[in-house]
Amino acid sequence: MTAQTNTPLPPEPVNRSTLTALKVLFWVALIGFLSWDWVVSPTIDLRNEPPVIAAGSGQAPTGGHCSMAK
């Protein structure tokens, strides 16, 4: 009677064409998402942003460059 060891088999290598297809799918999905976001997002009015620092202007600072304009 011989003892059998349960050694895991090494993973099979990924097929080169499968890897290429996954890369293409990733880039198509990313570019598609960014294109969709560009189309459906409202435009940003850069002149309506709150001041980052309102030192001495009499206006209270409302936040940094990423804050929503009020």
The more confidently predicted of residues 64 and 32 is: 32
**How far is the C-alpha of 25 from the C-alpha of 31, rounded, in Å?**
10
The more confidently predicted of residues 47 and 57 is: 47
**How far is the C-alpha of 67 from the C-alpha of 70, rounded, in Å?**
9
Q: pLDDT digits over 15-48, tens only?
A: 889 899 999 999 999 999 999 999 999 887 777 7
Q: Binning pLDDT at 50, 70 and 90, where does residue 68 land?
A: low
Q: Which residues, 6 or more positions from 50, have their beta carbon under 8 angstroms from its beta carbon? A: 61, 62, 63, 67, 69, 70
